[in-house]
Structure 1
Amino acid sequence: MIRRTPNRTPQAAMLFAAGFGTRMAPLTQDRPKPLIPVAGRPLIDHALDLVRPLGLARIVANLHYRAEMLEAHLAPLGVRTSVETPEILDTGGGLRQALPLLGPGPVFTLNSDAIWSGPNPLELLRAVWDGNRMDALLIGIAPERALGHKGAGDFTADAEGRVLARGPGLIYGGAQILTPTLLDQVPDRVFSLNRVWDLMQARGRLFVLEYPGQWCDVGHPGGIALAESLLAETYV
């Protein structure tokens, strides 16, 4: 069980919204994946529903594919944007580029292609975040609670939540708190946060928190119907 020690909590959130949505084709031919409707609302609006209750000072989204469409949608919502050009920077490079907009200290990051049923995962992360011993705290989903996901899992952890190995186990749910200081240790401009997690794991400071509700991967067309069914059950 992860126990919380009072310390500085994040004041900013990064929404990952720059991807090409290749798995979601052909629905992404005329729009970016975060604008695909699920239960009558764009995917990214469902993600914002999780961020808004936190009362954060800054919300930022990274953009690349059809950036102008997302920018037009997000600007009226008060979301600042970090446009990646000429190339997409992946999660690590994208987060590093956005740091001037996010400000100092730890940040929430959230993928915009999942639907959650249960407690707000970001509030769960904030409740147990301990920056004195954690470089990152990730949400993990038990395979039996994950809809629309076929992988074997991403992390195994000890009783305290410290990640022991990368591989079959909890599925990364796309939500985390991360201290971005180790981003500067990766020399490349384009890189995945997996490389930063490896550095954190080597330091014994990568943790995962198991989510008690259900989660649906909406990265492919089949996930839309699953997500809408999950939302319908949630609001019955």
Structure 2
Amino acid sequence: MRPLPLMLFAAGFGTRMGALTQNRPKPLIEVGGKPLIDHALAMARSAGVAKIVVNLHYLGPQIAAHLHGSDIQLSWETEQILETGGGLRAALPLLGVGPVMTLNTDAVWSGQNPLTQLLAAWDPAKMDALLLLLPCDKALGHTGHGDFLLDPDGRISRANGADAPVYLGAQILKTESLSAISEPVFSLNRLWDISIANNRAFGLIHQGGWCDVGRPEGIALAESLDV
């Protein structure tokens, strides 16, 4: 399948990183000598993604300067952070019409390219959402319970148990339902709930490793991955 446009989420305050993000945005924190956002961009390029949009708010000019000279488009959230749902909706004029991929920039991956996996499994005839997941005990740096249950056909439902798979921050979404949400600031959980209610939300288990780099201790964990 031809790669879809990609939204990289990079607007957050990174508060879980403590002093590390006092003067530097989390996407520019280095893992293995390379900023987190560059890890994400390398996967996008490897998957053949041509259109990439990055949303910016906290210390956004630093990320803009880092990306200067590239073909990446910037979606500025100047007045307030719009969260994942509001941020994606605000970026739609840059992303264009149709399904999009989204990827968080605070994780490091090993194994198969997550975007390639999603594209290979995406079936727009039956799916409005396809989320990449990993069993909770294999999700390095993750704290708390799992997020979703998978039925035999791959459809997801909400879960809150230690054994449930964890959402890894990579997905493909149809975006039409975003227009039905009136609030300017909202999470993509709202869109997932709509897709789940319509039996059109699916999950896919990542074929490889993953580490959340949301906290300082996640840096060393991520560097232990065979990337």
TM-score w.r.t. length of structure 1: 0.92
Distance 1:118 1:55, change over 3 A: same
Instruction: Return the alpha-carbon distance in structure 2 between the equivalents of residues 11 and 223 of structure 1.
Output: 29
- Following superposition, the deviation at residue 10 of structure 1 comes to 4.8
1:183-220 Cα shifts (integer Å, max 9, x gaps): 11110000000011001100001111011211100011
| TM-score normalised by L of structure 2 | 0.96
- Find the aligned partners of 2:69 and 2:144 in 1 and give their Cα distance: 37
Paired residues for 1:68-147 under 5 Å: 68-147=61-140
Q: Which of 150, 163, 170 lines up with 1:175 in the alignment?
A: 170
Q: Are positions 1:185 and 2:180 aligned together?
A: yes
The C-alpha deviation readout for 1:27-48, integer Å capped at 9, x for no partner, is 0011100001111110000011
1:73-129 Cα deviation digits (max 9, x unpaired)? 113232111010210000000000000100111111000000111100110000010
Q: Is the CA contact (8 Å cut-off) linking 2:3 and 2:48 kept in structure 1?
A: no
Question: Does structure 1 residue 13 correspond to structure 2 residue 6?
Answer: yes
Partner of 2:221: 226
CA distance in structure 2 between the aligned counterparts of 1:191 and 1:11, rounded to whole angstroms: 23
User: Which stretches in structure 1 are left out of the alignment for 5+ residues?
Assistant: 1-7
Where do 5+ consecutive residues of structure 2 fail to align? none
**Equivalence for 1:4:** none
In the alignment, which residue of structure 1 is the partner of 2:212? 217
Mapped partners of 2:197, 2:169: distance in 1: 21
Q: What corresponds to 1:40 in structure 2?
A: 33
Report the alpha carbon displacement of residue 68 of structure 1 after superposing the two structures with TM.
0.5
SS in 2 for 1:174: strand
AA aligned opposite 2:8: L
Match of 2:16 in 1: 23
Matched pairs, number: 225
Cα distance in structure 1, aligned partners of 2:75 and 2:140: 30
The one-letter amino acid paired with 1:106 is P
Which secondary structure state, in structure 2, belongs to the residue aligned with residue 204 of structure 1? coil
Tell me how large the CA RMSD over aligned residues is.
1.2
Displacement after TM superposition at 1:165 (Å): 2.6
**What fraction of aligned residue pairs are identical, expressed as a percent?**
56
- Amino acid of the residue matched to residue 225 of structure 1? A
> Are the counterparts in 2 of residues 74 and 80 from structure 1 also a CA contact under 8 Å?
no
* Whole-angstrom distance in 2 between the partners of 1:165 and 1:32: 31
Note the C-alpha offset of 1:9: 5.2
